[in-house]
Structure 1
Amino acid sequence: MEFSCVKDCSQCCIEREYYPSKKYGKIGVLILPDEKPRIESLAKKYGIEISIIPRIGTSNDLAEHKTILAYQMMGRDQNGNTCPFLETESESRSPHGGFTCKIYNQRPLACRAYPLIETNPITLDQKCKFCQTCSTADSNLNSEIESLIQIKNQMSQPHAILWRYATGTGNKEDESTIQKGWIRQ
């Protein structure tokens, strides 16, 4: 069974999750360092305001400057939801009936890899409506697997200490739990 979006679904571009826990806030779309200038340029081209913040970094010691392995593009909503490039204001729809992506052909690798969240074994995101119905993956996910492998290859850790950036973003009722800034892993 080949992956395809469920009719009228844009859930993966709208709903953000707390990861790895509420303390870290809602995560944004993973943006690799070499993708960041291109995504910023596309935002400028379309007149879209975006927020790209660190996501994962490494260092050799606690006081050292962090090498950023990945950034994250935050959602445009106050609670971190909704990709800034998702066209929710117009009547246009994608072939499956969901909202359209303004940068679909130039979207980040993380978007190209979705709904895969692991390659060995192949694991699908069970929050995806398509994955909830099929629950298995087969060889028709080649482009998604390739994108996920490219991400993993670029996320190698050159230093000893791993850091995760807490976004400070989430639902109003979770504000007392959510932190902001670098947290050592």
Structure 2
Amino acid sequence: MEFHCIEDCAQCCIEREYYPSKKFGKIGVLILPEEKDRIEKLAIKNKLKIKILPRIGVSEKNDSIPSKILAYQLMGSEKNGNTCPFLDTVSGEKSPHGGHPCKIYNERPLACKAYPLIESDPITLDQKCKFCKECGNADDNLNSEIEALLKIKGKMIPEYSVIWRYATNIGETEDQKIMESGWILEE
């Protein structure tokens, strides 16, 4: 079965999740360091305000902040962290599958190109994706998604052994007392 977006769906561009726990807040779209400037320029070109935070960093020792950032994250435009700022929810235009269109679809980050694949061993499909929920699996046409995921995975091999995650302190109002902000040493 071939993967394709479900009619009228833009869920993957709207809903953000807490990861790895609520303490860290909601995560944004993974942005590699070499993508960061390009995404910022695309925001200026589209007259959008965006928020890019660190996501994963590494250091030689665990008594300092990261000395190198492996990945950033593009945060959602809503206060609770949802909805990609590049998702066009106001013009009334529609994507080829009838959902809200992406303003930068042809220049979107690798993480968006890899979706709905999830990096695990083995690689799996995101069960929050409507296609994956309704159709179960996709056996065909995921070559470009696999290629994008492998590029990301190749960039995530740290030269240092101490890994840090950035807590965004972004999420639902009722979770504010649980969430933290800043670098947290991964255990």
TM-score norm. by structure 1 comes to 0.97
Dislocated runs of 4+, deviation >3 Å: none
Give the aligned partner of residue 58 of structure 1: 58
Which residue identity lines up with residue 162 of structure 1 in the other structure? I
1:84-106 alpha-carbon deviations (Å, 9 max, x no partner): 00000011000111000000000
* One-letter amino acid of the counterpart of residue 16, structure 2: R
Q: CA deviation at 1:137?
A: 3.2
Question: Which consecutive unaligned segments of at least 5 residues does structure 1 have?
Answer: none
User: What letter corresponds to residue 117 of structure 1 in structure 2?
Assistant: I
CA distance in 1, matches of 2:72, 2:98: 30
Instruction: Quote the residue 1:182 is aligned against.
Output: 183
Secondary structure at the counterpart of residue 79 of structure 2? coil
Instruction: Indicate the residue corresponding to 1:75 in structure 2.
Output: 76
Does the alignment pair 1:38 with 2:38?
yes
1:165 touches 1:180 (CA, 8 Å); kept in 2? Answer: yes
Give the secondary-structure state (helix, strand or coil) at the position aligned to 2:119.
Answer: strand
Alpha carbons 2:57, 2:66 under 8 Å: kept? no
Q: Which moved more, 1:121-130 or 1:27-36?
A: 121-130
The DSSP-based 3-state class of the residue aligned with 1:35 is helix
Q: Name the CA distance, whole Å, in 2 between partners of 1:119 and 1:23.
A: 22
Aligned to 2:25: 25
Give the secondary-structure state (helix, strand or coil) at the position aligned to 1:58.
Answer: strand
Confirm or deny: 8 A CA contact 1:163 1:184 kept in the other structure. Answer: yes
1:133 aligned counterpart, secondary structure: helix
> Any conservation in 2 of the 1:122–1:137 contact (CA below 8 Å)?
no
2:104 corresponds in structure 1 to 103
Cα distance per residue 1:13-46 (max 9 Å; x no partner): 0000000000000000000000000000000111
Supply the AA of the counterpart residue of 1:35. E
Give the structure 2 partner of residue 172 of structure 1. 173
- Paired residue type of 1:80: G
Whether 1:112 aligns to 2:113 is yes
Partners in 2 of 1:138 and 1:119 — Cα distance?
Answer: 17
- 2:73 alignment partner, SS class: strand
Could you give the per-residue CA deviations for residues 130-166 of structure 1, whole angstroms, max 9, x where no partner exists? 0002222324210000000000001111102000000
Q: In the alignment, which residue of structure 2 is the partner of 1:143?
A: 144
Letter in 1 for 2:93: S
Aligned AA for 1:129? K
Aligned residue identity for 1:52: I
Aligned-pair identity (%)? 63
Q: Would you say the 8 A contact 1:123–1:137 is kept in 2?
A: no
| 1:128 counterpart residue number | 129
CA contact (8 A) 2:66 2:164 kept: no
Structure 2: gaps spanning 5 or more residues: none
Tell me how many residue pairs correspond in the alignment: 185
Matched residues in 1 for 2:97 and 2:19: separation?
29
- 2:56–2:72 CA contact under 8 A, matched in 1: yes
Indicate the RMSD between aligned Cα atoms, in angstroms.
1.1
One-letter code aligned to 1:51: K
Q: TM-score, normalised by structure 2?
A: 0.96
